[in-house]
Structure 1
Amino acid sequence: MPILLALDASSSACSAAVLLQREGGDDILVSRFALTPREHTRRLLPMVDKVLAEAGLAPAELDAVAYGHGPGSFTGLRIAAGLAQGLAYGLDRPLLGVSTLEALALAAHRRHALSHVITALDARMGEIYVASWFCHEGVTEALSQEAVMPPERLQLPAAHASCDWVGVGSGWTLRETMPDEIRTTVRQGDATLEPAAEEMVLLAARAYAAGERHAAHDVQPVYLRDQVAWKKSQ
């Protein structure tokens, strides 16, 4: 009966969730979510305390800690990583990093029953963080690598171009700058949808069940923009 905690501060929202998986019974999922720009440092730890208290759990009962490792806000990722690593170190528990774009795809699937989803987050500086997914029966499958790019360079996965695509996430506020093919083929979804710990804890539970375990110091935020800059310099 694994018990997992997830937290996130990768966007203008911050959130926390705890999942109790019970054999032969319904899982218990408790979450908190709030749009709190520039208040993540003050709000995130109290959220963690609240979901644990509502679930009737002490921190020592956790089997693992997870957090949204990006891509996303540089400052927000550092805040979440610091808190998650501190908890994992202090409790001597494994730490799991969860993709914010995958969590966004799972949210679109769970809340709007979407199957072919392009998740895009506004990366500022005229760019978006983006990836495409196939979602079915609560499972997400990546159809493209996560990337950062100007929205005018966005393309559909070649092997799946004829699918019924829907775009979600803050990056779709830049829809008018995307190529004609995207604007005519991809239906507008929910541009207000933000990554959330509720989906991250479900993704973390799947990874944990598959045997994924990491020491706290081995899990680092994913800064796609830094990776792209590094590759260009080689």
Structure 2
Amino acid sequence: MPPETRLIAFDTSAAHCAAALLLGDRVVTRVDDMAKGQGEHLLPMLQEMLTAEGLAWRDLDGIGVGTGPGNFTGIRISVSAARGLALGLGKPAVGVSLLEAQACGLDGVVVSCLDARRDMIYIQVFGAGDRVPQLCALDDLPPISVNARIIGPVAEQISALTGLAVVTPSEPPINAIARIAVQRIGGENSRPTPLYIRPPDAAPARDAAPMIRP
């Protein structure tokens, strides 16, 4: 991509609205903590970031979006927004998982993890055949190299069980999402797709649907 590529990335998979505006070598980051209301907050927030830099939506070269894992509703909000913006602007949209974003820029074997609640974690190993992301219990971890390092919100807990070293990210995950996305613009990217690892909490109704008579 050209050195002055302009891309906006955002993520609402957790209790926040996070965004990064990548302007060549410069990144403008904003993270608004919020447990709900991301759907109404996201687009005005992105507009404010663009306006502050004297940019319009048409000035962007692409869109990056966090695809999870995380909150089901939050993931749907951001991925749907990215797809809609890409369609309306005629710009490419690239999805990036938070597990990959956390491991961005780190050498060697890296175990990226996120809290899945209910004593469960999301985990993915990079740098050793790059395994697929999975959901597991803290006391039932997949095989991990003794040379691996751990990164993420539950890294300390995994380290206490395994003795592996913990590493901290060099920048916010939203910035990494933007940097990964800009490198993938122009490649063979499909539409951003939510990364749902855990099955939804909501179960279908057991009662039969009401009959609709003409």
1:24 is matched with none
**SS at structure 2 position matched to 1:224:** coil
Structure 1 segment 1-234 matched on structure 2, within 5 A: 1=2, 2-21=5-24, 27-106=25-104, 116-134=109-127, 143-157=130-144, 161-165=145-149, 167-172=150-155, 175=157, 183-189=161-167, 196-208=173-185, 211-214=187-190, 218-226=191-199
Could you tell me the TM-score, scaled by structure 2's length? 0.78
CA contact (8 A) 2:111 2:148 kept: no
**Structure 1 pair 34/117, CA: closer, same or farther in 2 (3 Å)?**
farther
| Aligned partner letter, 2:96 | V
Residue 40 of structure 1: CA displacement?
Answer: 1.9
CA contact (8 A) 1:154 1:182 kept: no
CA contact (8 A) 1:120 1:168 kept: yes
Q: Distance in 2 between matches of 1:193 and 1:10?
A: 20
What root-mean-square deviation, in Å, do the aligned CA atoms of Structure 1 and Structure 2 show?
Answer: 2.9
Taking only the aligned residue pairs, the percentage that are identical comes to 32
Could you tell me the TM-score, scaled by structure 1's length? 0.72
Q: Flag the structure with higher helix content.
A: 1
Runs of 5+ consecutive residues of structure 1 not aligned to the other structure: 22-26, 135-140, 228-234
Q: Distance in 2 between matches of 1:63 and 1:56?
A: 15
Q: Distance in 2 between matches of 1:194 and 1:29?
A: 11
CA contact (8 A) 1:14 1:40 kept: yes
**SS at structure 1 position matched to 2:185:** helix
How many aligned positions are there? 197
CA contact (8 A) 2:146 2:164 kept: no
Q: Distance in 2 between matches of 1:207 and 1:222?
A: 18
**SS at structure 2 position matched to 1:45:** helix
Q: Distance in 1 between matches of 2:195 and 2:48?
A: 27
Residue 115 of structure 1: CA displacement?
Answer: 5.5
Highest Rg: 1 or 2? 2
CA contact (8 A) 2:92 2:185 kept: no
Runs of 5+ consecutive residues of structure 2 not aligned to the other structure: 201-214
